[in-house]
Amino acid sequence: MAAEAESATKTPSLQELLDMEKMTLSSKTREAQSPTERWMRYLGFPGGILLFLIILFLPAGAGLSASAQSGAACFALALVWWVTEPFPTYVTSLVLMFLLLVTRTSNAKAIMDVLGMEVIWLNLLAFILSSMLVKTRLAKRMALWLVVRFGHKATWALLAFLVLQLVLAPLIPATAARCVMTLPLMIVVATIYGSTEATPNAFGKNLMLLNLACISVLSSVTMTGSSANLIAVGLIQNMGGHRVYYMDWMRVGAPVAILTMVLMWILGQKLLFRMKPEEQVPQVEGGLDLVRRQYEAMGPLGFQEKKAIAIFGLVLFLWMTDIFHMRWFGVEISAPFAALLGAVIVLFPRWGILSWAEADIPWHLLIFSAGAYAGGLALDDTGAAEWGVRMLFGGMNLKGVPFGITYTVVISVMMYSHLLTTSKTVRTLIMIPIIITLAKALGWNPLSLALPAALCIDWVVGLPISGKPNVVLFSTNQFTVSDNFKYGMMTCTIGVLILVLSGATWFHWLGITPSFWAVAP
């Protein structure tokens, strides 16, 4: 009897699984599962405090102000707590915000203003749109179609998401928007494969982390993939004296990003999070046939679904056509305002789709993001991030060294530096000018280092706080911070390897890089 009951709880019916209106992005802390995780939680709290005290009481660095030093100490504490999770991540964010104030790293206004940042608004509004997709059952329909079409095996379902993100990347530059519009699909598909918030499995980890990496990494396929890419192009032109055209970027960026994601699609399943045989097929009673029947039972598109498509289409249209807004409307409707317009229609009495109470807005996630951004901004504003980068490059003597070594160092620093900042734009503004200056000082063509380095800008995949999509996907509780770190580090390392190989071959043949053995005169 007990076994039957257990079995019944383990295999919920498809109807139960797809009852998405009952699903919310929970603020519950995930239970520590393994002894290692429990030890991490236990030691993480004092570990974070210890690191904070060490950095705070270190002799003043030559180029660091006291506020930069305390900012680095606060951020290090929060980073340890976010990774080891002695508290829910949003509590750590609140602690961080308080610490930034009492250590005089940032003032109250700067900390509080973070909650009004564009990214926070975009998250909030995008969740309203996401709730609309759930309520109208459009998300369920799309997910069932995806599983019926590609879901015979988990691996093909994962590949379908890779392709989906690759198609969306050039169309919608806002990564958070891309993430939120595909999030309901991810949740339903993960659920069909037995991965829920309460019982996450290897499929769920693979699905969420593959999407997380795809959303960020595939932004580097085109130079319009993110505004930070365009800033880098501007800096290369102004400081390096080289104009980078759309196709120049694409022919170096696309192969690297796509190849890396294809490799991660394979390695994620084969190496990092191996799926058990039962996780590789839909885990619902009746299997794929039932999913197909369920899809067919949904019948043709309902009126509400069509309305949702129209609203979402309008928002999507505004996201995709932002470069024409000024010409058409005399004003640019930025991504959050396009989502705001969509939210207004969705919430409109009688004509809309949702009431405010039906919108699933995960405030804990917004607080988590706010803390992470406050910490990241403090590192930037106090000059701690810039000082760190300068010390790193300044500490290495690259004069007279073969180009290949300099190139590898620059790419590695650029790739992994995303762990220390939460803004791609700020990282670009700090790193690219330094790399251009370094190239000039060493006697290399600035393009040879700056363009490959610029390709790393969007690869913000190491931690849940590294990018907006990461924050959103982390809220699904399908993976831990350490899962994210493992997956992100592997993605970045493969990226570095491919970029180094490309630098020695493909980029060299294109005339971007000199020979790896060349030594500057």
Partner 1 sequence: MSVLRLLILLFLPTILVATTRIDSYTIKFQALKEGGGQAIATVALVGCTPGNLVLPLGFQSPEELRLEESPAGVKLEVGPRNGMTSLHLLFPAGMPTQATLRFSFTVKEVFQVLQLAPGEKSLMPKGSRLFRHAFVNTQEAPIGIYRLEFLFPEGLMAQAIREQQPKPKKSEVLPRVILSKSAGVQTAVLQFSDLRQGDDTSMTLELVPHRRSLGWLLAGLLLGGLYLFKFRDLIAKKDPDPTR
Contact residues toward partner 1 (CB under 8 A) are 32, 35, 38-39, 41-42, 45-46, 49-50, 52-53, 56-57, 60, 62-68, 86, 104, 235, 238-239, 382-383, 386, 433-434, 436-437
Copy the structure tokens of residue 208: 């969420």
Please report how close the Cβ of residue 335 comes to partner 1 at its closest, in angstroms.
26
**Single-letter code of the amino acid located at 312:** F
No. of H helices and E strands in the chain?
25, 0
Nearer to partner 1, 224 or 382 (CB): 382
Closest distance of CB 166 from partner 1, Å: 33
Nearer to partner 1, 58 or 171 (CB): 58
**Other CB atoms within 10 Å distance of the CB of residue 255:** 14
Between residues 279 and 380, which has the closer beta carbon with respect to partner 1? 380
Q: Which is nearer to partner 1, 366 or 434 (CB)?
A: 434
> Between residues 100 and 218, which has the closer beta carbon with respect to partner 1?
100
Least gap, CB of 283 to partner 1 (angstroms): 25
Distance of closest approach, residue 35 Cβ to partner 1, in angstroms: 8
Minimum CB distance to partner 1 smaller for 102 or for 297: 102
**How many CA atoms lie less than 13 Å away from 425 in the CB half-sphere?**
6
Q: Work out how close the CB of 445 gets to partner 1 at its nearest, in angstroms, rounded to a whole number.
A: 17
For residues 53 and 163, which CB has a smaller minimum distance to partner 1 in the complex?
53
Shortest distance (Å) from residue 204 CB to partner 1: 25
- Cα distance between residue 76 and residue 92, in whole Å: 12
To partner 1, the closest distance from the beta carbon of 380 in angstroms equals: 12
Look at residues 304, 297, 23 and name the one whose alpha carbon lies nearest to residue 137. 304
* Residue 127 backbone dihedrals phi, psi, to 5 degrees: -70, -30
Token pair, residue 187, equals 């949740």
Of 235 and 256, the one with the shorter C-beta distance to partner 1 is 235
Query: Shortest approach of partner 1 to residue 326 CB, angstroms?
Result: 23
Q: Vertex 308, ends 305 and 314: CA angle to 5°?
A: 145
* C-beta of 46 vs 511, nearer to partner 1: 46
Q: Report, in Å, the least distance between residue 375 CB and partner 1.
A: 16
In three-state form (DSSP H/G/I as H, E/B as E, the rest C), the secondary structure along 343-355 is HHHHHCCCCCCCC
Q: Which helix (H) or strand (E) holds 155?
A: helix 154-171
Task: Name the amino acid, one letter, at 340.
Answer: L
Q: How far apart are CA 463 and CA 442, in angstroms?
A: 33
Are 84 and 40 within 8 A, CB to CB?
yes
Nearer CB in complex with partner 1: 238/515: 238
List, in order, residues 6 or more apart from 80 with CB less than 8 Å away: 44, 47, 48, 51
Strands (E), 116-237: none
Q: Least distance from C-beta 382 to partner 1, angstroms?
A: 7
How far is it, in rounded angstroms, from Cα 77 to Cα 56?
11
Q: How many CA atoms lie within 13 A of 223 on its CB side?
A: 20
In this complex, which beta carbon is closest to partner 1, that of residue 77 or of residue 254? 77
Q: How far is the CB of 312 from partner 1 (least distance, A)?
A: 39
Q: Which of 126, 176, 120, 90 is nearest to 469 (CA)?
A: 176
Write the secondary structure of 441-468 as one string of H (helix), E (strand) and C (coil): HHCCCHHHHHHHHHCCCCCCCCCCCCCH
